[in-house]
Amino acid sequence: MKVYKFGGASVKDADGVRNLERIVRLNGDNDLMVVVSAMGKTTNALERVVEFMSAGKEEQALSQWVDIVDCHVAIMKELGLQPGVDIRLQGEIPFDPTLPYDENYDQIVSLGEIMSTQIIAVYLLKQGLSVEWWNMPKLLRTDDTWREAKVDNETSAATIRAGWERPNRPQIVVAQGFIGGTADGKRTTLGREGSDYTAALLGNYLDAESVTIWKDVPGILNADPRIEPNTVLIPSLRYQDAVELSYSGAQIIHPKTIRPLENKQIPLYVKPFGEPQAAGSKIAADGIGPIDVPVYIWRKNQILITMRAKDFAFVLEESLSEIFDIIQRHRLKVSLIQSSAVTISVCVDNTRFVPAAIEALKEHFNVSYNDHLSLLTIRGTTPQILDSAKAGRTIMLSQTTRRTARLVVKEQ
């Protein structure tokens, strides 16, 4: 069997769904697990619904909600489906003011994937394909770390294998990426952009022959085509190269995706959904590495936090463990660390968790910070490449080794 994953951009409208059908048909009679994200920018829109509801702005929440539903209804109609007959969308916003923000978030935001998969499954069925819709909140078991739920692999693998190996299971299964559920039946989410991770887990549980991520780019490129005009395709990578790229901030695959695949030596393809016969990029154990073109990776929305000793009794090792304890407790994602005799700087994603972490750090250190920063990582750099990358930019910090340069730069 194979796993195909379709991201939001690939199914943003009726044409996207028809294109998905075309790609699925190219796979012939083979068993297929189709993992789908929410359509287009639905997840962002649902996040706004949560924000409005939590702020008591019910009218705004409702109008945003109606927009989302209308948009899905329009796509259904364009695909020849009858809303209310073929598919019943969730009527009301599942919000409970007595629950914590993050728990409400998961109940609401998970609906994007529920809607997209319902539409796609019913559409494929009506086109004559053998299809079954899977409700991942009942199948992918997680804990209740809302918005970043941890998957219980043992339970999930057993349930999912049993479902897959059932006699007379339809040839194609359509399942939600990004979402799972707790033992007591609550929906959870696995972290933004988590659908790739779901696809990798399903590939692992079902011993897939391969996993393919269908994207709006030709494959893995050496730079973001929206930023760099001259990009090249990297046709073959090793797992370790892909992990490094994604941790440096390459948006192409979710960082957690590689491990479940590497564990079972399952190749991962990244292919353009607009040109399904193209080779794209292949990530595998026998991939070619290291990558032989310079690779530019931007990690945006960074904040550089600098801790300075409050007294002369500064011991680097002790401070480091204190700092990392705080960082971990506050769920910060570190992208770079630099230390000197009396300071330690960490560059982290500027998430909603940062302010509380800074307060905690202030109890032990003199803390200063700079935000509106990006981290540019250049792998396979040369002095000339580095010079031209630095030109015209305000560099807050730089770290270079022989082959890799990392620049913390002010956003322009």
Q: Which residues bind ligand ASP (CB under 6 A)?
A: 7-8, 37-38, 43, 112, 177-178, 192-195
Site for Mg ion in 19-38 (CB under 5 A): 37
Partner whose footprint covers residue 188, from Mg ion, ligand ASP, none (CB < 5 to 8 Å by kind): none
Partner whose footprint covers residue 178, from ligand ASP, Mg ion, none (CB < 5 to 8 Å by kind): ligand ASP
* Residue closer to ligand ASP, measured from CB, 45 or 356: 45
Q: Is the peptide bond before 94 cis (omega within 30 degrees of 0)?
A: no
* Residue closer to Mg ion, measured from CB, 7 or 137: 7
* Residue closer to ligand ASP, measured from CB, 61 or 136: 136
Minimum CB distance to Mg ion, residue 178 (Å): 7
Q: Are 214 and 5 in contact (CB under 8 A)?
A: yes
What is the signed CA dihedral for 316, 321, 324, 326, rounded to 10 degrees?
A: -110
Minimum CB distance to ligand ASP, residue 196 (Å): 6
Going by the DSSP 8-state scheme, the letter that residue 294 receives in this structure is -
**Nearest-CB residue to ligand ASP?**
195
Partner whose footprint covers residue 294, from Mg ion, ligand ASP, none (CB < 5 to 8 Å by kind): none
> Would you state the structure tokens that stand for residue 154, as one six-digit string?
């043992």
Minimum CB distance to ligand ASP, residue 112 (Å): 6
N-to-C CA span, the chain: 46
Other CB atoms closer than 10 Å to residue 290's CB: what's the count?
13
377 binds Mg ion (CB under 5 A): no
* Residue closer to Mg ion, measured from CB, 37 or 110: 37
Partner whose footprint covers residue 16, from Mg ion, ligand ASP, none (CB < 5 to 8 Å by kind): none
- CA–CA gap between residue 146 and residue 182 (Å, rounded): 10
Of 8, 194, 267, 272, which one interacts with Mg ion (CB under 5 A)? 8
What is the signed CA dihedral for 151, 157, 161, 163, rounded to 10 degrees?
A: -40
Nearest to 212 by CA among 278, 283, 268: 268
Distances in Å between the Cα of 230 and the Cα atoms of 167, 225, 236, 295, 391 are 50, 7, 19, 12, 18
* Residue closer to ligand ASP, measured from CB, 38 or 175: 38
* Residue closer to Mg ion, measured from CB, 213 or 378: 213
The secondary structure element, H or E, covering residue 400 is strand 395-400
Site for Mg ion in 41-100 (CB under 5 A): 43
Going by the DSSP 8-state scheme, the letter that residue 87 receives in this structure is B
Chain contacts with Mg ion (rule: CB under 5 A): 8, 37, 43
